[in-house]
Chains A and B, each alone.
Chain A
């Protein structure tokens, strides 16, 4: 186990390093380089030279690359071009918002997806199954930002059920502990703040959950169907085990392996979905930060750090998923 983890960690470092190297050289291969990208085409030669020197772009590329690597390792990503703040501070502020949204979305996707997929498989070919298949197909075919606008239009404009945007009502004096507003409210016993934040969370979380939910339902259904066909299920049935036992011990346990893999892959995809969802609901997390860093004059230091963060999160989540196999599948433990 330790060997597996350490090998994967080395892989993580190598992948991240390769990714950063690609981004580094891509940025410098642009016509005019980052300086032009920052200043635009109308900049005077003087300002261009000034910025080139200030950012160290007048030095040989290998010196720049070495310094860049050193900065990455020491966690120094420079300052945001837009706001002038350190990149780590900008990202640190936005990070909890996205974590809250993504966790809520993945809870919805797993909590609804596995039972629905299981039910669809049990009722194969019947109305529930067919309805589920159609809904999930639409779920993966709909542009989720459009779904976001639809939900917003129906549930915040027509009938005022949910707040249209933001993470918490203005004027609610909530204490910031972890940055996860729902959790903060519980920790500080400001339950009204917690409820309000939860209320704001519903629509964005559902929007973001759409694709993972649809995919988890489909994978669960297919996987349960496969397992139901297996000989050991027939054996269990034949030797007179109770249905509940068969379902829990034999069907679900074996069917969950591919589902867990999918959950890992979808968690990474949530980051991409968050970019769209956060723009629809004005959420103010990492997704918003990505959009702002691009449209507000390409804030490369922030973008670089965000790409790195996304890759690390994705790889770590999938590492955790692989490790969880050991809990679900005893065969992995033996190996």
Chain B
């Protein structure tokens, strides 16, 4: 084979490769393209796996857990003293909690309550934030200014401090106080995110095209601008979940958490019993803390992987 032929071969291969690559991405939507990149990203796979396992445990908790999480067992209670909490025994793989309940079952049911608190806090914050942001971005004018000033005021306090303030200002604490306090903290973040994204789209070609075609303003907002802004919101929501369960744990630690002693939620278990009995049996803190770290890590990893996948800079 002569040198020239080899060169031609090489060029042809390059061109074919180029065609294959552009053809591959050409007709693919950003979302599908991002989805494909996500499946190849180890970070996303690790994060996703953690979340799926967490969801399975949370959903099937009654099937997975060996016991009822609120039942107090006589065989565990009899060994409870001021400075001993029984460890693993037959039938109780992680031993007892300070009230003689099965710790392993409480950990498993804890996934459920933690999911509940995290999801609700994130969703409420997201919905309120998206609503405010969409109104600000779509309507503009003095309403926009008003909403943005309002978010400024909320952002003037660090998030956990705002949550502490909200719970402290409520006359007494319940599970809902915690959820709402953690949710409200995220409202300004979602609102600003959505508004920014809507403003960016207001001047974009697809909105201009829709307006030129005579699409009603309401439909432009609902059908064209909002769906295109949602990707950023989804990424933020994934990251918010991690912060929400950490904030809930912090509130429990400060004595502002859910007062229900039967509730098995990781933040509560860590912040109340885990810390109080740290010298006696540190496992009471280690296990919920580990669970919180792993789950928070899972959501952070997935959130960042999605953000990376959606970044047009990484598109090929």
Interface residues of A (CB under 8 A from B): 11, 14-16, 18-19, 22-23, 26-27, 30-32, 36-37, 137-138, 140-143, 145-146, 149, 153, 268-273, 275-276, 279, 290-291, 293-295, 298, 303, 307, 310-311, 314-315
Contact = CB atoms under 8 A, between A and B. Distances in A.
A162 B114 CA distance: 34
B113 interface: no
Interface of B: 149-150, 152-153, 156-161, 164-165, 168-171, 242, 246, 249-250, 253-256, 267, 270-271, 274-275, 278, 282, 285, 289, 292-294, 296-297, 300-301
Nearest to B250: A276
22 contacts: A18-B149, A22-B153, A23-B165, A31-B171, A32-B171, A36-B171, A143-B271, A143-B289, A143-B292, A272-B160, A273-B160, A276-B253, A291-B255, A293-B168, A294-B164, A295-B255, A307-B157, A307-B165, A310-B157, A310-B158, A310-B161, A314-B157
B161 A18 contact: no
A11 B155 CA distance: 13
B168 A298 contact: yes
Contacts of A272: 158-161, 164
Contacts of A30: 169-171
B153 A18 contact: yes
A15 B157 contact: no
Contact of B164 (A15, A18, A36, A275): A275
Contacts of B158: 268-272, 310, 314
A14 B171 CA distance: 28
A15 B152 contact: yes
B161 to A, nearest CB: 4
A23 B170 CA distance: 11
Contacts of B168: 293-294, 298, 303
Given A19-B157, A31-B171, A272-B158, A149 B275 contact: yes
Contacts of A295: 254-255
B253 to A, nearest CB: 5
B270 A275 contact: no
A272 B160 CA distance: 6
A315 B254 contact: no
A216 B292 CA distance: 22
A214 to B, nearest CB: 11
Contacts of A268: 158
A320 to B, nearest CB: 15
Contacts of B250: 143, 145, 276
